Structure 1
């Protein structure tokens, strides 16, 4: 289950609590959904969730429901003590959940009309010069508009520290190059 909402992102001002809250929300929703045996019962399950969620969340949007951890959990690779698959197992069997890094930035590298493979992949390589950054290359052959070529994750002990880090993939660099789209 992919939970989207104002308190569901570890990169926002919850200072690391966002991912834990999102995991908790996903666990609560998954628990409620295990009682759903027919599509007509979905609305009641989500209404029950609305009654138990924390007050900080203004709204929760469901982008996708999957019967397994989501395959694009980029943030969970570097930003969590355990990846989303292990976290999922812990939630199911009632073990303590892992903690998260206080501040994380994930940038997807997408191809566009002006991209070349060399330029896009050099952005990924250059990101490795940024402290606390990991680059993930997907081995994508060729560049097409909107095709995801990889992603970069930067972690830091605080949001303040994260914003100080020099990056080859800052919003300004993304805007100026046209090669990166922040997601």
Structure 2
């Protein structure tokens, strides 16, 4: 274990997660190269080198990785075959392609939980819409695309047989719908030596239409026993995968106080953005420590925190305006993080607000104020 700041880090994906990862990597004095299909991606102007190209094209990813010492991702939908080939060339690729193969397909992911005795909702693998329609006795359930779904896309709720026309006509997984009390998340980091660290459990609230995290509270309002159980399950999952880097584990807390794994993401995650202001190390710094095989940092929270996602308002598309920012910034403990996206559209993630307060009730009041006051609209709407 030896720190070397001369390494070139390649980030596949140039969105907001890559942007915040670069902001942390600057403190390590690393050279950063990013790849993204959007010629105006958020990472473009803060990377040492930016490549405009497909994340899923084998040749593009192979060429991108040739002069990188370490390669990481900010999105799972990438060419795993290229990452495997780069790994064979001796490149350090984290998370490992073998881990991505499990996580990229939700069907394989769910089977993995079952094989490793990790708690998750009952499920049935489905081949197409017709196949799904034969399982009316399993309803109510949630139908998920095996591959390609993200940020709430690729998910359909099937309450009765009348909903079967909404089922995907592609390979997917039908999961038993859980009557949960809370949706939780734990981010766990793991380096090559097997050292692990978890961030405090967070409680997420999802937007009812977009199926995106609207806001969250950290730490979650749960008992110490439940928090410890959630953290242990996250560590067990990371160790079972053998992942190097971050793993975000989204969970359900059921009405009978059981923890069930919903999904995982092998990278920095929306449920960890508040760590930039609220914890000794942020999730982004911790990811860098893990993939560089450095000692993991303390995840101690020095304040209660909340995170509010800034989503494009319905009915607005075009050059972005952040209406109400002045009023929001006048509140103590409010910190904006804008993602460098010039164009807004309905429900697009444009930034987030982290809110800090030692008093939980005051924290909730600030969240309500920010949600009501700050709107992401378009200039010419």
- Into which bin does the TM-score normalised by the smaller protein fall? 0.5 to 0.7
The change in CA–CA distance for 1:22 and 1:102 in structure 2 (over 3 A counts) is farther
Could you tell me which of 105, 122, 143 is aligned with 2:306? Answer: 105
Quote the residue 2:190 is aligned against.
none
SS at match of 2:307: strand
Give the direction of change, closer, same or farther, for the CA distance of 1:93–1:77 in structure 2 (3 Å limit): same
Please state whether the residue corresponding to 2:324 is helix, strand or coil. Answer: helix
Structure 2 gap ranges (5+) = 1-94, 96-182, 187-200, 203-217, 244-255
The 1:127/1:16 distance shift into structure 2, 3 A limit, reads: farther
CA distance in 2, matches of 1:78, 1:96: 15
TM-score (norm 1): 0.60
Task: Note the 1:111-126 alignment, pairs <5 A.
Answer: 111-115=312-316, 120-126=321-327
1:34 to partner: Cα distance: 1.6
Q: Give 1:150's match in structure 2, choosing from 351, 360, 366.
A: 351
- Which one has more relative contact order, counting CA pairs under 8 Å at least 6 apart? 1
Pairwise CA RMSD: 4.3
Equivalent residue in structure 2 for 1:70, among 247, 252, 268 = 268
Which structure's CA Rg is the greater one?
2
Q: Does the 8 Å contact 2:277/2:354 carry over to 1?
A: yes
Contact 1:79–1:104, Cα closer than 8 Å, also in 2: yes
Q: Provide closer, same or farther for how the CA distance between residues 150 and 71 of structure 1 changes in structure 2, counting only shifts above 3 A.
A: same
Calculate the TM-score normalised by the size of structure 2.
0.32
Residue in structure 1 matched with residue 27 of structure 2 by the alignment: none
Structure 1 residue 83, shift from structure 2 partner: 0.8
Q: CA deviation at 1:144?
A: 0.8
Q: Which has the higher helix share?
A: 1
Higher normalized strand content (fraction of residues): 2
Cα offsets for 1:22-70 (capped at 9, x unmatched): 66643332112229xxxxxxxxxxxxxxxxxxxx96223342331xx41
Please give the residue correspondences for 1:16-165 in structure 2 after superposition, counting only pairs within 5 Å. 25-34=233-242, 58-66=258-266, 69-72=267-270, 73-88=272-287, 89=289, 97-115=298-316, 120-165=321-366
Deviation readout 1:113-150 (Å, 9 max, x if unpaired): 33477885123443211111100111212221111111
Q: Which runs of 5+ in 1 are unaligned?
A: 36-55
Structure 1: how far apart are the matches of 2:354 and 2:299?
Answer: 19
Q: Cα offset for 1:99?
A: 0.5
What is the distance in 1 between the residues matched to 2:324 and 2:229?
A: 32
Correspondence for 1:5: 184
